Copies of this chain bind each other. A is one copy, B any other.
Amino acid sequence: MKTTPMRPSMPAPRIADVAELAGVSMSTASKALNDTGQLREDTRARVKDAAAQLGFVVGASGRGGADTRTYTVGLLTTDSFGRFTIPLLMGVEDALAAGKMAIILCDTRDDVLREQHYLQSLQERRVDGLIITGRTTDPRPSIGLPIPTVYAFSPSEDPDDYAVVADEGAGATMAAEHLVAMGSRRIAHVTGPQRHHSADARALAVHETLGDALVAPTLFGHWSEEWGRAAVDMLLASHPDLDGLVCGSDQIARGATDRLREKGVDVPGQVRVTGFDNWEVMALASRPPLTTVDMGLTELGRLAGRTLLDLVEGKPDVPHQQVLTPRLEVRASSL
């Protein structure tokens, strides 16, 4: 197949070239050119000099006026458009379609080379902005480009970047407090892999909330139904008087409710169970349907889209970190 790149004759200088000439990191160069972040003024000036020398043009960022805009935004995900990205994407679309922005889709599949390829292509297309998301809440490296960028769900490691995230800890606290309010006093916590940010943040919150009501240390394992079943076997053997189970995901909770039923333990009569994610295909198909934490991913996507529009339009005082509080969806598994 014969294809030609967008602007083949004259490759534009890249932020990497500017950073190299100024002797700074890409991230610093980006901040200097965007007038964001906390930098020494001489550093900022050195970067701007380097940019001028190379003829580097800062991407359509609102400061150039509306006529430089392409009304196009890149959405980059590591999640292969899985179940976290989809609801988020719908929210982004709600926010951006209202402003007649087109969304270009970039699925990096957790591949650094694919990500670089896409980012280069999006720069060549002079997108107005970028939304970066993924399948985990572990902070990811900053992309460090001089284009308005919002990290959604997966935050950036750089606190000067703009991020919209869910407060997972608050969600786990809600679930734990709900079980106590319903009368549970001998509760366990079963979750995903240790050192996975979501598992750790939720476990910490559950421990702080439950204290002595927790019958065992958090059981870390996998985000799977199978692990939910195995964990129930272990817990019932060691704590037959268990009366509450905070699960780190709906898949774990579904496996747990299945195994409790198979062992003749009534849910919620003998053990109340909560999930996490409000992934309806799991939460509603469970028997009984799951009480679960909904992180509000669509709302999170809307907020990310609106924040990006604010950045593109050059609005002042856009907050760098925005945290959305989840809500508890109460169903039969805990009542």
Contacts of A4 in B (CB 8 A): 66
Give Cα A285 to B121, complex, Å: 39
Q: Given A71-B6, A313-B1, check contact A103 B104 (CB 8 Å).
A: yes
A321 at the interface (CB under 8 A from B): no
Q: Given A4-B66, A81-B89, A309-B1, check contact A105 B103 (CB 8 Å).
A: yes
A-side interface mostly: mixed
A80 at the interface (CB under 8 A from B): yes
Question: Distance in Å from the Cβ of A11 to the closest Cβ of chain B?
Answer: 14
Q: Mark A1-15, 1 if CB is under 8 A from B, else 0.
A: 111111000000000
Which A72-120 residues have a C-beta within 8 angstroms of B? 72, 75, 80-82, 86, 89-90, 93, 97-100, 102-105, 107, 117
Number of A interface residues at 8 Å Cβ cutoff, please give it: 38
Contact of B89 with A86 in the complex, beta carbons under 8 Å: no
Which A44-92 residues have a C-beta within 8 angstroms of B? 66, 71-72, 75, 80-82, 86, 89-90
Which A1-41 residues have a C-beta within 8 angstroms of B? 1-6
Contact of A105 with B105 in the complex, beta carbons under 8 Å: yes
Contact of B121 with A93 in the complex, beta carbons under 8 Å: no
Give Cα A71 to B93, complex, Å: 22
Give Cα A5 to B102, complex, Å: 12
Give Cα A10 to B204, complex, Å: 59
Q: Given A6-B71, A71-B6, A102-B121, check contact A107 B81 (CB 8 Å).
A: no
Contact of A104 with B107 in the complex, beta carbons under 8 Å: no
Contact of A121 with B100 in the complex, beta carbons under 8 Å: yes
Partner of A5, one of B93, B100, B107: B100
Q: Which 7 A-B pairs have the closest CB atoms?
A: A102-B104, A103-B105, A105-B105, A3-B99, A225-B285, A81-B86, A3-B100
24 A–B pairs (Cβ distance < 8 Å), ordered by A: A1-B99, A1-B309, A1-B313, A3-B66, A3-B71, A3-B99, A5-B100, A72-B104, A75-B105, A80-B90, A81-B90, A89-B105, A90-B107, A93-B107, A97-B117, A100-B121, A102-B105, A102-B121, A102-B125, A103-B105, A224-B285, A225-B285, A226-B285, A281-B281
User: Which residues of A are in contact with B by a Cβ distance under 8 Å?
Assistant: 1-6, 66, 71-72, 75, 80-82, 86, 89-90, 93, 97-100, 102-105, 107, 117, 121-122, 125, 224-226, 251, 281, 285, 309, 313
